[in-house]
Amino acid sequence: NAGVTQTPKFQVLKTGQSMTLQCAQDMNHNSMYWYRQDPGMGLRLIYYSASEGTTDKGEVPNGYNVSRLNKREFSLRLESAAPSQTSVYFCATQRQGVFTDTQYFGPGTRLTVL
């Protein structure tokens, strides 16, 4: 079992370029999340998907779009990257969107926007 995988691990973009961050899970979980981590800020929720075909905005959605392609995959797209989007991005999964359930995190994508 790979758990939660993310690709790529590292990426450098120029301002205005676009890219898609990929997340896949083999845990058969329904809920998936995208967070960003910035120094001294903890993790903040970008987007959330309760199940295949549904997505919702989190705390910091501006500049991002998401797709829940199927139960396994949840992608995050930056249409026109900005330096403020330099961050570490984590995908997480949860069996259901239930408060007591553990969230499992991928290894992260480290993105730099020049």
Instruction: Please choose, from the candidates 86, 113, 80, 100, the residue with its C-alpha nearest in 3D space to the C-alpha of residue 31.
Output: 100
25 in contact with another protein (CB under 8 A): no
Smallest gap from Cβ 33 to another protein, in A, equals: 6
The 3-state DSSP class for residue 83 equals helix
User: ω into residue 8 within 30 of 0, thus cis?
Assistant: yes
Selected binder of another protein within 21, 25, 36, 48 (CB under 8 A) = 48
How many residues make contact with another protein (CB under 8 A)? 29
Instruction: By CB under 8 A, tell whether 64 contacts another protein.
Output: no
Place of tokens 């999964």: 93
Cβ proximity to another protein, 19 vs 43, nearer residue: 43
Out of 18, 80, 84, 96, the residue judged to bind another protein by CB under 8 A: 96
- Bridge partners (DSSP) of residue 112 are 12
Q: Which stretch binds another protein (CB under 8 A): 21-29, 60-68, 77-85, 93-101?
A: 93-101
Residue 108 near another protein by CB under 8 A: yes
Torsion of CA 75, 76, 81, 86, to 10 degrees: -110
